């Protein structure tokens, strides 16, 4: 036993000072949002999200946070009343692309509504529900607010709306340039 104790280092011996290297992992989804990347991402069908359509409301103006929040609260009230009667929200697929926004019925796959991105004037996140947001679509002097609840967080969808709005002018310029060349 005496030999075993001599072979093991004493506990009070100074420990070598090794600074552990900490490796911080970055998110896998972090990419540079270059125009080429965004064009490729939103080209064609674009990005599809699972959601529910809470409601559609006529609004007097294309902008206005208070007006938007009031309309969202009104639609929430209608949704609660409908829920008490046993009705459900319509399940939809929300597709965001350079062409605009498509709202498709989840069961049938039919395109119910199609809105060009140029005619969407406001995108507003619900302050009380992190999965809900609304956007205002204007057509021929009338404005409609579409209130949508996502299956997951609404932030990525709102970010995609902003990204598409950035690249839509680029696609318009490319179309004009292509027409001139041909």
> What are the average pLDDT values for consecutive 10-residue runs of the chain, which has 182 residues?
55 56 55 78 89 94 90 93 91 92 93 92 92 93 94 94 82 56 60
**Rounded CA separation 17/8 (Å):** 19
Which pLDDT score, from 0 to 100, does residue 179 have?
59
**Which domains does the chain show, CATH number per domain?**
45-174 (2.30.29.30)
pLDDT for 45: 85
The pLDDT assigned to 17 comes to: 57
Q: What are phi and psi of 9, to 5 degrees?
A: -70, 145
**What pLDDT is attached to residue 111?**
93
The number of residues in the chain equals 182
111-119 contacts: CB < 8 A, separation 24 or more? 113/146, 117/161, 117/164, 117/165, 117/168, 118/168
Residue 35: the pLDDT is 79
């Amino acid at each position: 036993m005496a030999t075993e104790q001599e072979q093991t280092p004493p506990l009070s011996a100074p420990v070598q000072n090794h600074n552990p290297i900490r490796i911080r992992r970055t998110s896998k989804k972090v990419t540079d949002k270059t125009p080429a990347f965004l064009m490729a991402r939103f080209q064609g069908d674009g990005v599809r999200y699972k959601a529910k359509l809470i409601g559609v409301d006529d609004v007097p103006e294309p902008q206005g946070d208070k007006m938007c929040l009031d309309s969202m609260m009104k639609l929430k009230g209608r949704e609660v009343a409908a829920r008490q009667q046993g009705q459900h929200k319509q399940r939809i697929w929300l597709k965001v692309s350079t062409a605009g926004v498509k709202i498709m019925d989840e069961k049938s796959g039919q395109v119910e509504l199609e809105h060009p991105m140029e005619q969407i004037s406001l995108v507003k996140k619900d302050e009380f529900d992190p999965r809900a947001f609304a956007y205002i679509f204007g057509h021929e002097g009338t404005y409609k607010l579409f209130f949508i609840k996502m299956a997951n967080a609404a932030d990525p969808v709102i970010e995609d709306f902003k990204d598409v709005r950035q690249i839509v002018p680029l696609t318009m310029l490319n179309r004009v340039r292509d027409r001139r060349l041909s």
